[in-house]
Amino acid sequence: MTWLIFSMKPEIGRRFMRKETAKDIWGSISTTFDRVGGLAKVYQLLQKVITMKQGDRTISEYYNTAIGLWEEYDHYRDLQLSNSEDEAKAYRTLEKERALILLGGLNPKYEPIRIQLLGRSPLPSFDEVCSYLQSEETRRVTMELVSSLERSALSSSSHRDWHGGD
């Protein structure tokens, strides 16, 4: 039990020092911090998710940021489903929505890929969309590198030709 108290910031741990069991501490922590902020927190997270843009991030960084926000959002979301069939339907719907949101926040240079993916029926799964985007990013980086090397080689060749093959 002591390790639990000492793993917290001192100002937080002091609140739970008089609890008799680890179960009591965890219960108290849950009551105090679980779903802190309620509806305001759900609203804040939903706004972050919906307005999220790729910006200067790589596809992997953008994807990981999105996953982190959605995991936090899911924690606060009060989605109570009665059976596994409902859960499966809800999961498919959420996955589709998340793929659409992710595509919507991509940088303009990915517009052709976005159009191509949105034209598929059914829309690929969230993970498939991410995999496709990462492959496209790798292809683009490789092509930019090859193009840069070719320009460098041409420049070097032109310089040699200009100076008589020195």
- Please name the residue that has the structure tokens 């991509």: 106
- Do residues 95 and 67 both lie within one domain? yes
pLDDT number for residue 78: 67
pTM beyond 0.75, yes or no: no
- Do residues 22 and 53 both lie within one domain? no
Identify which of 11-25, 38-52, 78-92, 146-160 has the greatest average pLDDT. Answer: 38-52
Q: Which two tokens stand for residue 60?
A: 């992997």
Mean pLDDT of the chain: 83
- Segment 111-115 shows an average pLDDT of 95
- Segment 25-44 shows an average pLDDT of 73
- Do residues 94 and 70 both lie within one domain? yes
- Do residues 73 and 148 both lie within one domain? yes
For the ranges 19-28, 81-90, 107-116, 147-156, the lowest mean pLDDT is seen at 147-156
Long-range CB pairs of 97-102 (<8 Å, 24+ gap) are 98/66, 98/70, 98/126, 99/123, 99/124, 99/125, 99/126, 99/129, 101/49, 101/50, 101/52, 101/66, 102/62, 102/63, 102/66, 102/126, 102/129, 102/130, 102/133
Q: How many domains does the chain have?
A: 2
| Position with higher pLDDT, 74 vs 127 | 127
- Segment 83-110 shows an average pLDDT of 91
pLDDT surpasses 80 at 71: yes
**By residue range, what is the domain housing residue 28?**
2-33
- Do residues 7 and 63 both lie within one domain? no
CA distance 51 to 43: 12
- Segment 139-144 shows an average pLDDT of 91
pLDDT number for residue 83: 83
- Do residues 94 and 112 both lie within one domain? yes
| Position with higher pLDDT, 93 vs 159 | 93
- Do residues 42 and 99 both lie within one domain? yes
- Please name the residue that has the structure tokens 């105090």: 32
Instruction: Place 156 in a pLDDT band, splitting at 50, 70 and 90.
Output: low
pLDDT surpasses 80 at 1: no
- Do residues 43 and 115 both lie within one domain? yes
pLDDT surpasses 90 at 10: no
- Do residues 84 and 13 both lie within one domain? no
- Do residues 42 and 25 both lie within one domain? no
- Do residues 46 and 90 both lie within one domain? yes
- Do residues 43 and 18 both lie within one domain? no
